[in-house]
Structures are given as C-alpha cells and as structure tokens.
Amino acid sequence: MRTSRLVERFAERSGAPFFLVVGTAACLTFMAAVTLPVDVALLVRAVRGLGPGHGLAGNADAVTVLVVLGGVNVLWLVTWWRNRRSRGSASAA
C-alpha cells in the first residue's frame, strides 16, 4: 500500500514527463516485439513470392505488400528525418 502511494505521489509531482516516458517505452517495446518481426516476415515472404513461377495473382500480391509496407516505412523515415532536422536547427539557433 505504501509503495503505491509513493508511485502516485511521484506521478502527481512529475506530471506529464512520467507518462511520456512510460508511454514511449511501451510503444518502443511493442514495436520491437511485434511490429518489426511481422514487417520483416511479410517482406521476406513477399520477396519470395515474386517470380515467374508464382503466377500473376501471386506476383501482384507480393508487389502490393512491398509497395504498401515499403511506402509506410519510407513515409515514417521521411517524417522522422524532417522532425530531427527541424529540432537540430532550432536548438542550434
């Protein structure tokens, strides 16, 4: 009981930074444990699904997976890069 009260007081005093750190850690953990392995498995399966022996539907499916996953990842990287660049120039000024 005493520990939970200490945690509550800490959360009250620290406010948003506490929840920001916990939320960020949870998101990064989920990404590392779930999102990355699923993305890699889908990409590997899509690359293996390309080729003349897989037919038109198989190739179309593989290309669609590569375009969608690749597009989402490129969009994320561009957004991340722009945010990092703007933070760097703002702190330098």
Confidence of residue 10 (pLDDT cuts 50, 70, 90): confident
Q: How confident is the model at residue 34 (pLDDT cuts 50, 70, 90)?
A: very high
Structure tokens at 86: 């703007």
Q: How far apart are CA 76 and CA 40, in angstroms?
A: 16
Place of tokens 């007081």: 9
Mean pLDDT of the chain: 85
C-alpha pair distances (Å), 38 with each of 24, 41, 47: 20, 5, 14
pLDDT, tens digit (0-9, with 9 covering 90-100), for 37-56: 999 999 999 999 999 999 99
Residue 42 tokens, joined = 């889908």
What is the pTM assigned to this prediction? 0.61
